[in-house]
Structure 1
Amino acid sequence: MNDSNLTHDAFLGGLLHLWQPRAGYRAGVDPVLLSATIPAAYGESVLELGCGVGAAVLCLGARVQGLDLTGVEREPSYAALARRNGGDALEVVEADIVSLPLTLRQRQFDHVLVNPPYWRRSASVAAHDPLRETALGEVTPLATWISVAAKRLVPRGLLHVIHRAERLPDLLAGLPKDMGSIEILPIAARTGRAAERVIMRARKSGRADFRLHAPLILHRGADHQDGDQYTEQVRAALRGGSMLEF
């Protein structure tokens, strides 16, 4: 992809810069929020399924040093950008999640993160841009994303998934029986608003009780106004690379 068709965008207040397509799917707030909730530690391994240009996994790598980072992306142009963005810090495997290469299926990871396509095309209209449609339109069932992710975890490893709130029943139903210690973090635009996103955390072989956390509120005030209205906690994660506690 020619550089004239790309932008070089700052994330985490400039701690990270990513090449992205000028048109088509562009990483926004969701992958950054997802990465901010992952309690990774130095020396641990991380896998992102459907990594796009690498936004979520590289934001995590910018926050926590010494991680072993791997991303899987089936779209060749996005995989190429993820390699460019990550350099030596990110191993990018160009593959569909339903047909991972044997070398990857033989590995397990401390953390697996997933920001899958949000829209079931049986109930929505496809995007005109083919790359945007690849990122947003659900072709592989959500349950398959969850199943593939769970298989790649070490015992006691953590899965994190961000999705639309109305798909929470599907997220929970898709978890294999060996996934437990489930926690849900709802994400609402403002106080008093219904949650539009959720982040699900589950642990392989986990046995703790289910936990539904108080919503993470993105913006201050009751209504939209011009300017940066992020709450202090969210601004620290988006602009400074701070961790978001469940």
Structure 2
Amino acid sequence: MTEDALLDGRVRLVQPRRGHRAGSDAVLLAAACGEADGETVADFGAGVGAVGLMVAARHPSCRGVLVENDPALAALARRNVALNGLADRFKVCEADILAPASIRRQAGLEAGSAGLVVTNPPFWPAGRVRTSPDAGRRAAHVMADEALDGWVRAAADVLAPGGRLVLIHRVDGLAGLLATLAGRFGDIAVRPVHPRCDRPAVRLLVAARKGSRAPLRLMPGFVLNGPDGRFTPEADAVHRGTASIAME
């Protein structure tokens, strides 16, 4: 295990030295969640809790639940909640997001209980990438295409009417994601993330509102690195936790 610092030390995170580790995807997702003070936040597929804990650090009056199916990662998420002094605001729910709703209820994940769901779902389809021999890394990265529909359906179930879903996804998965959101979510905002200003996007930040009929919006791209390979001022501020990524 290692203990790492995120957002300039505002979040401490114990995570496995090997396997899937929190990185820029988690930082970007937490920065794109919009106003969350006073909200109940659910972090789907929370792993060790990186995204949910960064949302908590950014929005001191929000409360929430870290939803994780792997018992070992859920135990680390509980440890990280305590490490960051958030036991009075955040809890860990050990639940399979893709299980039937009745099973999720038994685990404590109630319908209409959240105003915001944030998630970094495993977004590489099986067979499209070389899978890691590490089980944790494999589970964090690879999920069957049809499982994304169940993931989004579960988010819609947990969200209250008008609640928001914010996620990060792969670029070539946009068409499938939009099809999955259709009929459940509207007011969809898509913001491409570029490694440099002259390079194609490598990720998409997507925000959507449950039950809305507002049209889709394509937002300006967010650029991570300048010509020198270092973070742009905007990306540096996001990683320090002093700036957010607008999705409105």
TM-score, structure 1 length as denominator? 0.91
Using the TM superposition, give the Cα deviation of residue 143 of structure 1 relative to its aligned residue in structure 2, in angstroms: 1.6
Q: Decide which of 75, 79, 83 is 2:78's aligned counterpart.
A: 83
- The one-letter code of the counterpart of 2:95 is A
* 1:150 equivalenced with 2:145 (yes/no): no
Deviations 1:177-202 (A, max 9, x none): 13111110000000121111001111
Greater displacement, 46-55 / 202-211: 202-211
Aligned equivalents of 2:116 and 2:59: distance in 1?
A: 13
* 1:182 equivalenced with 2:188 (yes/no): yes
| 1:11-160 correspondence to structure 2 within 5 Å | 11-87=6-82, 88=87, 89-99=89-99, 100-102=104-106, 103-139=108-144, 141-160=147-166
- The one-letter code of the counterpart of 2:93 is V
Determine if contact 1:34/1:199 at 8 Å carries over to the other structure. yes
Aligned equivalents of 1:97 and 1:198: distance in 2?
A: 22
Determine if contact 1:63/1:242 at 8 Å carries over to the other structure. no
Using the TM superposition, give the Cα deviation of residue 108 of structure 1 relative to its aligned residue in structure 2, in angstroms: 2.1
Using the TM superposition, give the Cα deviation of residue 159 of structure 1 relative to its aligned residue in structure 2, in angstroms: 0.5
Aligned equivalents of 1:75 and 1:21: distance in 2?
A: 13
> What SS does the corresponding residue of 1:40 show, helix, strand or coil?
coil
Using the TM superposition, give the Cα deviation of residue 154 of structure 1 relative to its aligned residue in structure 2, in angstroms: 1.0
Determine if contact 2:22/2:50 at 8 Å carries over to the other structure. yes
Using the TM superposition, give the Cα deviation of residue 76 of structure 1 relative to its aligned residue in structure 2, in angstroms: 0.8
> What SS does the corresponding residue of 2:98 show, helix, strand or coil?
helix
Using the TM superposition, give the Cα deviation of residue 176 of structure 1 relative to its aligned residue in structure 2, in angstroms: 4.3
TM-score, structure 2 length as denominator? 0.90
Aligned equivalents of 2:242 and 2:160: distance in 1?
A: 26
Give the root-mean-square deviation of aligned CA atoms.
Answer: 1.5
Aligned equivalents of 1:28 and 1:41: distance in 2?
A: 22
Determine if contact 1:34/1:161 at 8 Å carries over to the other structure. yes
Q: Which runs of at least 4 in structure 1 moved beyond 3 Å after TM superposition? A: none
> What SS does the corresponding residue of 1:82 show, helix, strand or coil?
helix
Residue 2 of structure 2 aligns with which residue?
7
Determine if contact 1:220/1:231 at 8 Å carries over to the other structure. yes
Determine if contact 2:112/2:157 at 8 Å carries over to the other structure. no
Residue 222 of structure 2 aligns with which residue?
216
The unaligned stretches of length 5 or more in structure 2 are none
> What SS does the corresponding residue of 1:154 show, helix, strand or coil?
strand
Deviations 1:106-155 (A, max 9, x none): 34211001101122122222211111111112147112111111221111
* 1:173 equivalenced with 2:179 (yes/no): yes
Deviations 1:205-230 (A, max 9, x none): 22322110111000111x64xxxx11
- The one-letter code of the counterpart of 1:191 is C
Deviations 1:20-42 (A, max 9, x none): 00111111110110010112332
Aligned equivalents of 1:241 and 1:164: distance in 2?
A: 26
Aligned equivalents of 1:241 and 1:145: distance in 2?
A: 31
Residue 235 of structure 2 aligns with which residue?
234
Aligned equivalents of 1:143 and 1:178: distance in 2?
A: 11
Determine if contact 1:186/1:195 at 8 Å carries over to the other structure. yes
- The one-letter code of the counterpart of 1:190 is R
